[in-house]
Amino acid sequence: MGVAMSEVAWAGLALAGCLGLWLWLRLRPGAACSQRRRVRAALQRMPGCPALPLLGTTYRMLGLKRRELFASLDKTTRQYGPVFRTWNGSHGVVHLSEAEHIEIVLRSTVNIQKGYVYSFLKPWLGTGLLTSSGAKWHSHRKLITPAFHFNILDSFVEVFADKSEILVSRLEKEVGNSKGFDVYPYITRCALDIICETAMGTEMNAQDETDSPYLKAVCELTELIIQRIGKPWLHSDFTYSLTDQGAKFKDNLRILHDFTKKVIKERKEAMKNSEEFNNGTEDLFGRKKRMVFLDLLLEASKGGTVLSDEEIREEVDTFMFGGHDTTSTSMCWTLYLMALHLDVQEKVYEEQMEIFQGSDRKPTMKDLSEMKYLERVIKESLRLYPIAPFITRQVTQDIEIGEYCLPEGSQVMLHIYHVHRNHKYFPEPETFNPDNFLPERVLTRHPFAYVPFSAGSRNCIGQKFALLEEKAVLSAVVRRFRLRALDPPSRLQLLWELVLRPADGVRLTLQPRSTTPTDY
């Protein structure tokens, strides 16, 4: 009763305050008011459902369960797309779902500022690479790019392999479980172990200590952020801080920040006391000692580009979030689709046998580069189930989209999920077909019809890292087990959170490769 009453009470107070503010903003003169009227006039020319004062079109989400939100937006997109508008409170949002329109936005060198919903991530990620803009984003992007040099990625392959071996050993206990199990927690803990060691140089052992406070805090925090986005009365930081949800958010935030700060402090002390670092014998692209992402930031902070401890914390938190939640989700969708399409799974296995010749040795970078069919499977999985189904931008300069103008001051939401399933670019778009990524097909397709890692100047800096990690982990699983999915796509309910995940996880059954195939 406490949470419900608290939220209702604050919703009432916030709505009353917002009503007074809304009336004042509408009636007062000035440039800002003129700009809001311009945004309103431009968006009203676009198709979309009716809006209400204060709530905009978010009233359509009120009363919906968490697992119903994605389906609601999907229905609205199919009804009003490919260009339509919604109102999230007073924020006008233009939705685009065709490659030609998405290209105009992503190729822009001006409209690169993330949409306002990313502001809800800032208490956690600060103004790291994901949420920053302007000079800070440019300088940090340039600084961080060397962390993804080929030689550094090559040094991480051993970590991918070691954590994958732990994963398959943990999955052994699920063999023969005819009722099936949810593979999602296993993959998430593996991905968390990988990013923790490669980003911060420390072992979390999430696969052994399954009740990880960090992982629990990440899950709760992301859910709270999504709930807040859909409730305009919680958008005010002051109002949100006085609610039960705000208090819970703050508690989880403390867990995440305390962990990151502790690791940074320990790593700084280790570098200070290390002869290798003091004597300068550490080669950035050498193999004497694996340089992790945090080391790169700490080294930079000792040179000409000085990063504060807070800036280092922001970037580490950004990579911890972006490097485990995203890759684990992608791997789970790929496992699901392989378990659903057994012919594809067997082709993946045959490729593995050609590469490893029956050996159970760890993969090398060369092995991963030879996994061409598995790479096509991963890409097709990302087409059907993109990690981020929608991305947003703040319009800082007018954009012309066909007959419409997206005015300065509005937001634009790019529907990655819907452009990936558009029949204009993919024949039989709802069908899983890795051949969609044969080189000859890719060449003839619109370059912005497939953008799972975004595109343009703000594309995902870690996409090569993610693809290598996924290949290593999926290779280990497929070489050890045959997988079968228990739920057809028609039974899946998608959760629109910070990533696109299945509401009830990914339920599989496993059979050892060492046994004769059965109809298990």
Let me know: does 345 contact 339? Beta carbons within 8 Å.
yes
The C-alpha atoms of residue 259 and residue 250 are separated, in whole angstroms, by: 14
Residue 272, Cβ density class (10 Å: 0-12 exposed, 13-18 middle, ≥19 buried): exposed
Greatest C-alpha distance within the chain: 78
Phi then psi for 139, rounded to 5 degrees?
-65, -40
Q: Residue 449, Cα to own-chain centre: how many angstroms? A: 19
Residue 481 DSSP code: E
| Residue 7 structure tokens | 């939220």
> Which amino acid, one-letter code, is at 282?
E
The C-alpha atoms of residue 324 and residue 330 are separated, in whole angstroms, by: 10
CA distances from 226 to 7, 49, 59, 249, 263 (A): 15, 22, 16, 12, 28
Torsion of CA 30, 31, 37, 42, to 10 degrees: 170
Nearest to 319 by CA among 296, 287, 290, 288: 296
- Residue 460 marked as a ligand binder: yes
Half-sphere exposure of 155 toward its Cβ, with a 13 Å CA cutoff?
A: 20
What letter does residue 175 receive in the DSSP assignment? Answer: B
Q: Residues forming the annotated binding site? A: 460
Binding residues for heme: 460
